[in-house]
Structure 1
Amino acid sequence: MKIQIDIDPKYEECNVTIHAKEWTKDIEELVQSLQKKQPKRIVSVQEDRSILLNPVEIDFVFARERKVYASVNGKCMELKMKLYEVEDMLSAAGFIRFSKSVVGNVNQIDRFELSFNGNLCVYFKSGSKEYVSRKYVHDLKAQIVEGGESHDR
């Protein structure tokens, strides 16, 4: 793939043109990633208060007892969303499915270890840990190799 970038003040807005011999899965993924907007905030609920969370600070989101929670620095914050909605909303921010009940932030991973049963134990920068089921290990490794999206500022 060849990439050309032309930065000039004469342009009013950003335009992207793709030249290709045929439509491919890579082009489809590129178009989807360009069209996705990264969420700036996600709302959590504690008692009668709404708290704004920055997706960059979330380690992982999990479902337990028909409720969805975000883990931020070891604290659990309830979200009023379904897990698949959170996954869809945060995929542009580097979140990927870890298991049937967990979506994790690839950009917050510090290290991971292979478990005896084929699962991965993922350790986050905050000290939290979560497991990736065998079904999703390949996707996570691919995301890590591709680098995910770095949101370090």
Structure 2
Amino acid sequence: MKIQVEIDETLETKEVWIRSNVWDKEVQQLLDRLQEEKRVYFAGMDKETRHIFRPDDIIYLYTMDKTVMAKTKEGTFQMKERLYELEQQLPDSQFVRLSKSAIANLDELKQFEASFHGSLCVYFRSGEKEYVSRKYVNGIKEKIRWKGKG
């Protein structure tokens, strides 16, 4: 894919052009990404302090004792939203569901390892790990353009 940026001081608004010889999945994904209107900031609690962070700061989200927690580069924070609500507000191209109780930032993944019963164990750059339910393995493979066997 070729990317060009042109600065034209005579323009009053930003314009984005997608040029292709065919309308395919990649063109649609680019269009979808440009049209995403996801929340820019999140807030989580650590004891009595409310912390504000961006989606890029999130390593992964998980549930613990019916409470949603956000593991970030700055610490772990309790969220008031439910996991599915946060999933809807996160950039789809950057986050992936690992299981019924976890969502990961693809930019923070380091490696995968085969686990019991066809599931995967995912390791984060932070050194932590989570397990991927079999139900969500194909979704991850699609998002990271998995190559190879299995």
**In which range does the TM-score fall when normalised by the shorter chain?**
0.7 to 0.9
Cα pair distance change 1:46/1:107, threshold 3 Å: same
Secondary structure of 1:145's partner?
A: coil
Secondary structure of 2:142's aligned partner: helix
Q: CA deviation at 1:61?
A: 0.3
Counterpart-to-counterpart distance in 2, 1:6 and 1:41: 27
Q: Which runs of 5+ in 2 are unaligned?
A: none
Aligned residue in 2 for 1:138: 138
- Residue identity opposite 2:132 in structure 1: V
Q: After superposition, give the CA deviation of every residue in 1:98-140 in whole Å (9 maximum; x if it has no partner).
A: 1111111110001111113111111101111101111111111
| 1:80 aligned onto 2:89 | no
What corresponds to 1:111 in structure 2? 111
Residue 93 and residue 79 in structure 1: after superposition, are their counterparts in 2 closer, same or farther (change >3 A)?
farther
TM-score normalised by length of structure 1: 0.77
Percent sequence identity is 32
* Structure 1: stretches of 5+ with no match in the other structure: 147-153
- Work out whether 1:61 is the aligned partner of 2:61: yes
In the other structure, the counterpart of 2:6 is: 7
In the superposition, the TM-score normalised over structure 2's length comes to 0.78
Which range is displaced more, 123-132 or 88-97? 88-97
- SS of 1:16 mapped into structure 2: coil
Q: Are residues 123 and 28 of structure 1, via their aligned partners in 2, closer, same or farther at CA, if it must alter by over 3 Å? A: same
The SS at the match of 1:107 is helix
Distance 1:112 1:4, change over 3 A: closer
- In the alignment, the residues of structure 2 paired with residue 84 and residue 15 of structure 1 have an alpha-carbon distance, to the nearest angstrom, of 33
Could you report, residue by residue, the CA deviation over 1:55-107 in whole angstroms, capped at 9, with x for unpaired residues?
22221101232211111259431011111111111124611111111111110
